[in-house]
Amino acid sequence: MGKRQNFTSYTRPLTPSSVEKTRWELYLEELGLKDETAINELRRGTGAAGKIQAWVRANCRSAFVPETVLGVLGGEVVFGDLPIKEEIEDAA
């Protein structure tokens, strides 16, 4: 029989890894809200809606924002140089 070759294993040991929260999740924690509550606030335009809208406008290009939130805000959020609604209508 041939000689057994010893190769270095490139697999990492199975250890639990930490999951990093997105900036969106951290922001909601700061406000004391959950995703569903934030979306309801945006739909009704009450409570923290203004703060959330301002945060989304300031961070939508550099941080994860759930698609549902972007959909609720519609043309109010600028993505790139065009409002999202215009990009969607142009694609159709």
Domain count, the chain: 1
Per the domain annotation, does 30 fall within a domain? yes
Domain span at residue 37?
23-91
Token digits for 40? 């309801």
Is 41 exposed, middle or buried (CB count within 10 Å of its CB: 0-12, 13-18, 19+)? buried
How does residue 88 score in pLDDT terms, banded at 50, 70 and 90?
very low
Q: What is the pLDDT of residue 47?
A: 81
Condensed to tens digits (0 to 9), the pLDDT of residues 2-54 reads 666 666 656 666 666 678 899 999 999 999 999 999 999 999 998 899 999 99
Three-state DSSP class for 83? strand
52-58 average pLDDT score: 90
Per the domain annotation, does 47 fall within a domain? yes
pTM of the model: 0.62
Per the domain annotation, does 11 fall within a domain? no
